[in-house]
């Protein structure tokens, strides 16, 4: 059986999806990158399957590994707009561009929920620097999770919460995707098994990444257990398709594609 070149995301939220995959060199080789880099590697053919930002699925002829995602069904904690002014008064917005899905979600919420049209600028994920020249800033991943306590006068607007309030649906941030035939049923089964192991091991994962800091370990465990959701069921697919339609309406993608899955048999 062929070894599949996997590209995963180098964020904390990925760890439950890759639990034990390093022990299956007969099935996978694994590398870690930022979300946007992971997508670029897949588009360029340098990996076979990538844990890509959800919007990147529309930028290639891909299939999705079934029933695995990084999502939320309410507060996500690690994808947020931090604002110095009430949301309806945001005129300038700095965006962490390391995940195009979160950027697209922010633009959708600006247009359809918050009803604002701020001037957009890219920025590195440094909240202090971003807020020095903008009313608000999108920060994602570990940098967003680590903004604690909030700077004085700054509000955290959780985008998982905002999407759920707007649509009543979960949001899918990323999923495993690749070209037709890239994985077989054994690969799919092992990726699903890794997800199940990881979800069952969140306390151990939290301890491992926290370097003996008990307070951080508790925070990480809550995040992995309570904020993040890892299935890709009917409601998640409905939320994903809703996101895609909004993105297409705003011209954030060239067009829509059907959501297609690898066979698990």
Which one, of 61, 45, 57, 55, lies nearest residue 5 by Cα? 45
Q: How far is CA 121 from CA 97, 131, 133, 135, 141, in A?
A: 10, 11, 10, 11, 19
Residue 181: DSSP 8-state: T
Per-residue pLDDT at 9: 85
Which domains are present in the chain? 4-71+171-249 (3.40.190.10), 79-167 (3.40.190.10)
Give me the tens of pLDDT residue by residue for the chain, a chain 265 residues long.
Answer: 689 999 998 889 999 999 999 999 999 999 999 888 899 999 999 999 999 999 999 999 999 999 999 999 999 999 999 999 999 999 999 998 777 899 999 999 999 999 999 999 998 889 999 999 999 999 998 889 889 899 999 999 999 999 999 999 999 999 999 999 999 999 999 999 999 999 999 999 999 999 889 999 999 999 999 999 999 999 999 999 999 999 999 999 999 999 999 998 7
Q: Provide the pLDDT for residue 248.
A: 97
Nearest to 54 by CA among 18, 6, 102: 102
pLDDT for the residue numbered 1? 63
Confirm whether pTM is higher than 0.75. Answer: yes
Q: In what helix (H) or strand (E) does residue 90 lie, and over which residues does it extend? A: none
SS3 at position 204: helix
Please tell me the distance from the alpha carbon of residue 57 to that of residue 100, in angstroms, as a whole number: 11
| Residue 97: per-residue pLDDT | 78
pLDDT at position 10 is 83
Measured from the Cβ of residue 38, the count of other Cβ atoms closer than 10 Å reads 26
């Amino acid at each position: 059986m062929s070894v599949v070149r996997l590209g995963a995301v180098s964020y904390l939220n990925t760890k439950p999806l890759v639990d034990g995959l390093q022990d299956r060199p007969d099935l996978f080789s694994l590398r870690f990158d930022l979300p946007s880099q992971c997508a670029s590697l897949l588009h360029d053919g340098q990996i076979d399957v990538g844990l890509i930002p959800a919007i990147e699925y529309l930028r290639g002829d891909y299939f999705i590994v079934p029933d695995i995602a990084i999502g939320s069904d309410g507060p996500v904690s690690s994808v947020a707009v931090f604002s110095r002014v009430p949301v309806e008064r945001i005129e300038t917005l700095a965006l962490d561009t390391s995940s195009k899905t979160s950027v697209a979600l922010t633009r959708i919420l600006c247009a359809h929920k918050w009803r604002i049209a701020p001037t957009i600028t890219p920025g590195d994920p440094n909240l202090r620097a971003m807020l020095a020249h903008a009313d608000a800033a999108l920060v994602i991943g570990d940098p967003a999770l680590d903004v604690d306590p909030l700077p004085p006068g700054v509000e955290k607007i959780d985008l998982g919460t905002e999407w759920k309030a707007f649509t009543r649906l979960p949001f899918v941030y990323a999923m495993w995707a690749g070209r037709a035939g890239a994985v077989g049923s054994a690969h799919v089964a092992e990726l699903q098994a890794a997800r199940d192991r990881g979800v069952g091991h969140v306390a151990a994962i939290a301890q491992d990444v926290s370097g003996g800091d008990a307070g951080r370990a508790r925070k990480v465990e809550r995040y992995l257990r309570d904020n993040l959701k890892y299935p890709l069921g009917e409601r998640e697919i409905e939320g994903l398709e809703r996101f895609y339609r909004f993105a297409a309406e705003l011209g954030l993608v060239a067009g829509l594609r059907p959501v297609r899955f690898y066979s698990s048999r």
